Every structure is written in C-alpha cells, then in structure tokens.
Chain A
Amino acid sequence: MAAWLARTGVRDWLFAYVGAVTVWLVTVVIADGFGAMQTLTAGLGFAVFYVLVATGQMFVIATGPGNIDLSIPATVTLGAGVAMSVMAGSDAMIVPGFLAAIATGIAVGSFNYALIRALRIPPIIATLSSSFVVQSTAIWYGRGLSIKPPDALQDFTFARVLDVPVMTLVAVLFTMAMAVVLRRTVYGRSVLAIGQNPKAAHLAGVDVERTRWVTYTLSAALAGFTGALFAGFSGGVSLDMGAQFLLASIAVVVIGGTSVAGGRANLPGLWGAALFLFLLVTMLNAAGVGSGVRQLLTGVLIIAVITAAGGEQRGR
C-alpha cells in the first residue's frame, strides 16, 4: 500500500485531502451537524480561485529552485479591472472581457520573463518589482471605473448543480486538462525536466528559455483570468482584491505536494490544499477562537499536513 502510494505519486497529494476532510468533519461536529453540505459548497466555490492562480504558480515553482511568481496579486487586480471595463456590464462582452484579461496577463508574464532573462534579475525580485508596476497601473486604471460585472457572469458564478458550483465543475475539467499537459506533453515534461536539472534538460534538447517564458506567461494569464472571474463572483473590482492570493497561491502549491525544489508537481493536490485552507479558517471561525490562537493553529496545522506528506523517505 505504502509502496503503491509512493510509486504512483498519490502520497504527494493524499494528505491535503486527509487534512481537508478532517477539518470539515471537525467543523460539522462543532456546528452540531448544522450546514455541513453548505460549508462544503462554499469551500468548493472559493477553491476555484485559489486553484486557478495556484496552477500557474505550480508550473513556475516546478521549473526549479528560485522560480516563483510574486506578481500574481497585482495581475489579478489588473485583470479584473481590464475585464470589467471591457465588459462594461454587458452580457455580450463577457467573452471579449475574459480575452482582454488573459491578454493583460500574457503582457505581464512576458514582462516578468524579460526582467528575469534580459536583465538577469532573480525571479523573486523581478516579479516583486513588476508587481509594483502592475499594481500602480491597476490603481491608475481603476480610478473612477464603473465596477459592476454583467448579470450573466454574476449568475454563472453563483450557479449550482446538486449543491456543487458550476464553475467548480468547469475548473475541475480545466485542472484535469492541465494534468495531461503536465504529464503527457513535451511542454509539461520539459517543465519537470528543467526543475530537476536545467543543464541536463538543455543537453537533452529541451528549449529551456522558451519553456520558462511559456511558464511565467501561463501563470500571469491564469492570474488575469482569475481576476475577471473573481470580479464577477464578488460583484466588482476593488484595488485590494488580489492581496489574498500572494501567500495563498504558494501555500496551496506546497500543501498540495509540489516540491519547492522543483521537478515534482501534481494537480489533484491543489484542490485538496485549497479546500483545506478554506475549511481550516471556517473551522476556527466556527469554534470562535480568538485571532491570535487562530493564526497560531493555522500555522501549526499547515506544518502538520506538510510534514505528514513529506515525513517519510520519498521513493521515486
């Protein structure tokens, strides 16, 4: 059993789900069984945004040590602002709005890559400084902006089938597709190869720089798209809407069983980790513990899940 878990890579992400189910059950007990299903529904809805940004972050982190995208929060805000102004509240403009948000992300991602490649700035500094530029652009762009999303978009983000949000179902399909990209395409295999050893990957004929460019662009494009969707869900654009995704995007990736050292990544873990983080806060809120204790327990439980997942010796 243990050997099978290790061989298939299931152990990498299993503990995120164990953690999520555990905190959910505890929440249900605290609330005397009240609202068990609705809590899960709320979690599945919010998890969509975390999973989308974390998918991009995961590909970036998988390309090896030092690779990280800190411009995600600013790109979410700018993508939301661009999308809402293109949509201008009209249902007919929803698709162009999303395309504009993705295009914004592609521009930001290419800019990030240019800083990293041409100016040889380490990714953590390059994406941090570009986030200042992007956030300032969002502030400048967002002044006096009409902020309401089109009704059809808002209705879509609230729509459900059997208590499961429709956008969650769509996002699950998307992550399944990305899992195939990661495992079965030249691009996905290149990301993992670079993450394990960029020199060896280069000698094996992988176009290292092109892969990096695609990866940073993918991350920013997903952030821009997420911003547009999130603006629909939360009823408009606000300048601070992206801030919550900075640490969350990284935490979801790590709790989900992706190696920070690069070269190992998986998509199922992102859902488990996003649900775990959401339900953890819900559990502590429902228990009514003070903010100090809550932050302490959040830290301790995150460490517990990561340790449980990586505690034994990893087989390859």
Chain B
Amino acid sequence: MAARTLCAALGAALLSTTAMAEIATGDTSGMRIALSNNFAGNSWRQAMLKSWDEVSSQAVAEGIVAEAPAFTTAENQATEQAAQIQNLILQGFDAIVLNAASPTALNGAVREACDAGVVVVSFDGIVTEPCAWRIVIDFAGMGTAQLDYLAEKMPEGGKLLEIRGLAGVFVDDEIHSGIVKGVETHSQFEVVGSVHGDWTQTVAQREVSGILPTLPAIDAVVTQGGDGYGAAQAFRAAGRDIPLIIMGNRHDELTWWQEQRDATGYETMSLSIAPASAQVGFWVAQQILAGREVPQDLLLPTLVIEQDELDYWLEQTEEGGVTNAVYTLDWTDKMIEAVAAGEPVPPTPTAE
C-alpha cells in the first residue's frame, strides 16, 4: 500500500501505478450492505433505486455480499432518516450507503453507526460527519461548465436566463455559485433574469412563463437539470424564439433536443449526475469492507452529453427517466486510485 501511494505521489509519469492498482479481495460474502435513501418521488431517484437493485442483486447472485436491500423514508425528513439509520445499526448491517436528507442533521446517527463499527458511505446527498466516506459531486463545476460551453458557442456573449433549483438546498447554492463564477470569467454574458424551477419541469415552465414577458430577448438559458423541457414549453407558449437551453439529461429534454436537432439543427449540451452513482456507493462500501484503504472524500464526474453523442446517450435513457450509466467495480477501483493519487477521475463509463 505504502509503496503504491509513494509511486502515485511521484507523478503520472510512472504509468506503472495504474498497473499496481489492486482491487481488495477480502471475503465479504457474509456481509450485508443497506441503502438508506431519503426520497423516491422523482424520476432521478427512481432510476437510482433501480441501479441499486441491479448492482445488489447481481452482487448477491455472485456471492460478493449476503444481501443489499434498499430502504427509503416516506417523508424526506432528517429525523425519520436518523431513526432509520439507528434501525439499520440494530439490524446488524456491516455498511450503510447513504443518500442523506441533510448534510448535517444526520451526523449524530452517522456517528452512532461508526461507533458501532458500521461503514457509512454517503453519496449525492452527502454528510459532513468525518467518520463517513463522501462521494462528492462537483456541482459548482456543473455551473462553470455551462458558461464555458456558451463562451465557445457564442463568443460575442449574450443575455442569460438562469433557472435555479430548490431554494435553500446545498446543491442549488453550489451550481449557482458555479454559474456566477462562469459569468465572471466570461464577462460578455449577463444574467438578466433568475427563477427557481425546483428541478421540476412543470414548476420551471410556470416560473419562466411568469418572468418571460418582463425580459428582453434571451440568448441562452442556464439550468440545473429537470427544468430544460419546461423552459422550452414556456418559450413556445409565449410565442418567443427558443434560445439555447442547456439540458439536464432527462428523457423528455433529450427527446425534445433530438426533435429540434432533426428539424432545425438545434445545438446545445446536457449534463447531470448519473443515478447509478448509487452503484459507486455500493462498490466503495464493498471495497472498504474487503479491507481496502479508501480516501474519505471521493469524486464523481458529471455525465456530459455533447451534440454528437446525443443519439447514443438517449438510447441509454429510460423513457420518462434520466440518462444513466453502469459503474462497475473496475471503474470504481480506477476512480479510487485516481483520487488517492490526486489525478483527474476517469470519465463516465460508456458501453464501448
């Protein structure tokens, strides 16, 4: 282990480091991993649960773990999820993979789990408790990436409408800060209007419809995912020209993009987090149980769809769902290695 870390620290020039990456092979066949999930009421979460189900049933069939059930709370409340975690500790799970209702409110319960010797791996909705592992998503990077793309597409700049997420939620603040930073870098762009679309198509449509009449011509719409199609509907209902709308990997958004591309050559990009991040959580937990040293803070890349990859990714997207990928143990291993070595994480895996 020490030798590998040292090699990695010496730099990327030593290509042998990747060859030295080793998947922990400790016996986890008798162990049980639980998914503690705070919410299931949208298409992203539904896809996430399905991805978990896929990886867990396969892992159980192959004898990698004894069982890996998923538990979802009904009310999306931190108190309810804290009680759920305490139940999972009592039921003797070896690891809990956690999508948390709050970054801080579950810390007490997470601490209890750690003290009881349970491995806690948080992803998507991460927790700040130091004893837990975190699979961190670069949300601010999702904001800056949109402006970088726009600066390339329209070097002369333009007027932007920003659709934000749910007010008061960490993810919304992070993506927004990335967009603010992007506008500072590319100062030819100006945000002339901002609404909260709550990552919900119908809410985004309503909010954009409301503010649109008070705005000048919009060149592009920056978004957070789940809101792009609603924005397009609002522009259509208002009888306005449809600007470049950044999409968020939802099936309706990508379908609309494909239709527009075929009809008018419409160009945009789309980005979001693959719901299968739950699978990374599963493999990280499994590797820790198998005895591997894993850094507490891991990174997950954003799933970016560009114009020429649209057809491929739309095929990977379930009708009514979100674009998904499959994260294998091998991919997770490469990601852990890259993070440990301070290198960029590998891109989202594709089938080929």
Give me the interface of A with B, judged by CB distance under 8 Å: 27, 30-31, 34-39, 41-43, 45-46, 132, 135, 139, 142-147, 158, 230, 233-241, 243-244, 278-279, 281-282, 285-286, 288, 291-292, 294-295
Contact = CB atoms under 8 A, between A and B. Distances in A.
Contact of A281 (B41, B201, B207): B207
Given A39-B213, A234-B233, A285-B193, A46 B200 contact: no
Contacts of A291: 164, 167-168, 196
B211 A235 contact: no
B202 interface: yes
Contacts of A147: 251-252, 319-320
A238 B202 contact: yes
- Give the most central of A43, A142, A240, A292: most B CB within 10 Å: A240
B202 A45 contact: no
B181 interface: no
Contacts of B237: 42, 45, 158
A133 to B, nearest CB: 11
Nearest to A285: B211
A46 B204 CA distance: 12
Secondary structure call for the B interface:
helix
Given A35-B214, A238-B320, 19 more contacts: A34-B215, A35-B213, A37-B213, A38-B212, A41-B213, A42-B210, A42-B238, A43-B210, A143-B320, A144-B318, A144-B319, A234-B233, A235-B229, A238-B252, A239-B41, A241-B201, A244-B203, A281-B210, A286-B214
B320 A237 contact: yes
B236 interface: yes
A143 B193 CA distance: 35
16 contacts: A34-B214, A35-B212, A39-B214, A145-B319, A147-B319, A147-B320, A234-B205, A235-B233, A238-B201, A241-B201, A282-B210, A285-B193, A286-B193, A286-B211, A291-B196, A295-B167
B28 interface: no
Contacts of B178: none
A282 B251 CA distance: 28
B214 A241 contact: no
Interface residues of B, number: 40
Given A31-B214, A236-B252, A239-B42, A285 B207 contact: yes
The 10 nearest A-B residue pairs measured at CB: A35-B213, A38-B213, A291-B167, A31-B214, A282-B210, A42-B209, A286-B214, A39-B213, A285-B211, A241-B202
Contacts of A135: 41
Contacts of B61: none
A108 B280 CA distance: 40
A233 B233 CA distance: 8
A316 to B, nearest CB: 38
Contacts of A237: 320
A54 to B, nearest CB: 15
B109 interface: no
A286 B164 CA distance: 15
B236 A285 contact: no
Contacts of B40: 139
A45 B319 contact: no
A26 B211 CA distance: 13
A300 B263 CA distance: 47
Contacts of B205: 233-234
B345 to A, nearest CB: 30
A278 B214 contact: no
Nearest to B250: A238
Contact of B74 (A132, A142, A145, A286): A132
B46 interface: yes
Given A235-B252, A281-B210, A145 B320 contact: yes
Contacts of A236: 201, 229, 252
Interface in B183-226: 193-196, 200-203, 205-207, 209-216
B210 A244 contact: no
A63 B212 CA distance: 40
A285 B194 contact: yes
B43 interface: yes
A147 B320 CA distance: 7
A243 B215 CA distance: 27
B275 interface: no
B281 interface: no
A188 B41 CA distance: 36
Nearest to B192: A288
Contact of A230 (B164, B193, B202): B202
Given A42-B238, A235-B233, A282 B211 contact: yes
B275 to A, nearest CB: 14
Nearest to B195: A285
A282 B201 contact: no
A243 B256 CA distance: 24
A212 to B, nearest CB: 27
